[in-house]
Amino acid sequence: MDQIGPISLNPASTDPLYRQLFDSIAGRIENGALSAGHRLPPTRHLAGEIGTHRNTVVRAYRALEEAGFVVSTVGRGTFVRDVPAAGDTRERPAAGGIAWASLFSEASGAESLGRAERLLRGGVAPAGVLNLARMEPAADLMATDQLKRCLDHVLRTQGPRALGYAPRGGVPRLQTLIAEDLLRNGVSAQTGDIQVTSGSQQGLDLLARVLCDPGDAVIVNASTYAGALHVLQAAGVRLISVPNDDEGPSMVAMQRLAHSGAKAVYLMPGCQNPTGMCISQRRRAALVQWSQHSGVPLIEDDYVSDLHLDDAAPPAPMRALDGDVIYIGTYSKKLIPALRVGYVVAPPALRTRLELMKKTMDLGTSALMQHALAEFLERGYLRAHLARIVPEYRARRGALEEGLREHLPPQLQPRRPIAGLILWLPLPQQLDPELVYDRCLRAGVLVMPSTMMRVGEGDEHGIRLAFCAESEARLREGGVRVGKVLRELLANETAEERPQRMEVI
């Protein structure tokens, strides 16, 4: 069942070895030698048979899956899919049906949108999986009771007035309270500067629609928030990646991009997702100066505002340095995800267009939730809530680090975040992050590989571990399991290091 016939890899060929393997297997599938449902050999087994490194086979299998030749199911294996006959690439609708595949927009098939689907296709997480991938507060860290009191108060005192459409810029009382709240972090804003949105994700979506036409470029980190990649590519935006150095986006690279024609730069200075990096104060000032000279605006996504885990004061937001910086914030990460209330602090020239686009998109963010959040802020609940959850996140970060230290190979060192909800674990280049994901899932722990968040090839290679969705005990155990998986994988890599043998079998 697991045999696929002779395979010849030619080390003298200019094609990469994994591509030669891809071509060999794809050819057998297309000519019918391997039929639908046939199970391909396990990657380690095939690598041993043909005398190559296992990563070569892993890359070939991944390319076959992306091309639609095979489907992989975690725990079961890789199987040949039902492929149309050679030369026949037409959609075959049922009688009276519609050939939907010919109608989809290019944006809906953007590569970044399909990454998670490809990774999780057919995979079923084991019962009781330890979730180190979810960027969502655990139930005990949500301000449930306080929000309920605020909702009850709004419904009791305002009744139907709170149930209609909200003003397109947002409920004025909430806009004013957000502006007052921002002053705590050094961001000066007036009520009219604030566009209330349905979460920070919608804020970025609105900006992409207001600033960019399809084909326009936006500069982003080479590895960045997957949700931002989805939004920008769905808007038809062309992404230009910039690498990081120890302080943030490389200014050498930024200078090269000053005349790239980009419409904006998207950054997460407080805690970059996925790497956990905090952009230094000096680099923030340099980026603001670059923006002023190049005429390219900065979009500052401060999703971790108020979630500072160390005692040292955080760097000032870029918006505090320059009123032309577009500032995005949210209450989802620090309160309740389902609240879905975020905001954009916009320069005057953007406000009218943002409001009009917002009204066009959804007719307004929930007025009920806006009134409830305004009550929450006015009662001082936010300060009390932060005083409770920040120490909790600090302890949970420590629990995850403690678990990792127990078994993590000494050459692997996690990056400790000073703010936010994630810890970044760099991996050596020879270790495939998706292989690590697969092995961790088998061990009952879910992690996020860097391939889900890269632009092009990316410059970060590792896994992201979130410490917000699990208890201290489960985080400690999750760290132990991840450490064991990586120790085993690196031990196997060392044992398998040998000259590659290429032969016909």
Span 471-499, average pLDDT: 84
| DSSP H or E stretch at residue 71 | strand 70-73
Write the CB contacts of 229 (distance below 8 Å, at least 6 apart in sequence): 112, 220, 239, 453, 455
Nearest to 189 by CA among 203, 175, 207: 175
Cα separation, 72 vs 61, in Å, equals 9
Least confident of 25-29, 224-228, 254-258: 25-29
- Of residues 108 and 197, more confidence is placed in 197
Residue 91 has pLDDT above 80, yes or no: no
* pLDDT for position 455: 86
Name the one residue in this structure whose structure tokens are 């909800």: 421
Q: Residue 114: what pLDDT?
A: 64
Q: What would the pLDDT profile of 330-341 be if each residue is shown by its tens digit? A: 998 888 888 899
The answer on pLDDT for 329 being more than 70 is yes
Give the confidence band of 77 by pLDDT, cuts at 50, 70, 90. Answer: confident
Counting other chains too, the contacts that 139-148 makes at CB distance below 8 Å and 24 or more residues apart are 141/389, 141/392, 141/393, 141/468, 142/335, 142/336, 143/335, 143/336, 143/376, 143/381, 143/385, 144/336, 146/376, 146/379, 146/381, 146/385, 147/335, 147/336, 147/339, 147/372, 147/376
Per-residue pLDDT, averaged over 131-146, amounts to 92
Residue 54: pLDDT over 50: yes
For residues 408 and 36, the model is more confident at 408
Cα-flanking dihedrals φ and ψ of residue 351, to 5°? -60, -50
Angle at 15 between CA 429 and CA 38, to 5 degrees: 85
Percent of the chain exceeding pLDDT 90 equals 61
Burial level of 6, CB count in 10 A (0-12/13-18/19+)? exposed
What value does the mean pLDDT take over residues 236-256? 94
357 vs 497, residue with greater confidence: 357
End-to-end CA distance of the chain: 17
Res 73: pLDDT:
74
pLDDT value of position 81: 85
Top mean-pLDDT range of 25-34, 106-115, 297-306: 297-306
Distance CA 132, CA 466 (A): 5
Q: How far apart are CA 329 and CA 302, in angstroms?
A: 5
Pairing of strands 70-73, 342-345: unpaired
> Any idea what DSSP says for residue 193?
G
CA–CA separation, 174 and 197 (whole Å): 12
C-beta of residue 201 within 8 angstroms of C-beta of residue 225: no
Residue 13 has pLDDT above 90, yes or no: no
87: phi > 0 → left, psi -120 to 50 → alpha, else beta; which?
Answer: left
* Mean pLDDT in residue range 34-42: 87
**Greater pLDDT, 7 or 69:** 69
Determine if residue 223 is left, alpha or beta; phi over 0 gives left, psi from -120 to 50 gives alpha, anything else beta.
beta
Say whether pLDDT at 122 is over 50: no
What Å distances lie between residue 465 and 115, 274, 301, 440, 491, CA to CA? 18, 9, 20, 12, 22
Is pLDDT of 43 > 60?
A: yes
Query: What integer pLDDT is reported at residue 499 of this predicted model?
Result: 37
- How high does pLDDT run on average in the chain? 87
Helices assigned H by DSSP within 319-432: 348-362, 367-378, 381-407
Query: Which tokens sit at 297?
Result: 């605006």
59-63, 246-250, 468-472: segment of lowest average pLDDT: 59-63
Q: In what order do the strands lie in the sheet with 422-426?
A: 422-426, 462-466, 448-449
Domains of the chain: 1-88 (1.10.10.10), 130-140+384-496 (3.90.1150.10), 159-379 (3.40.640.10)
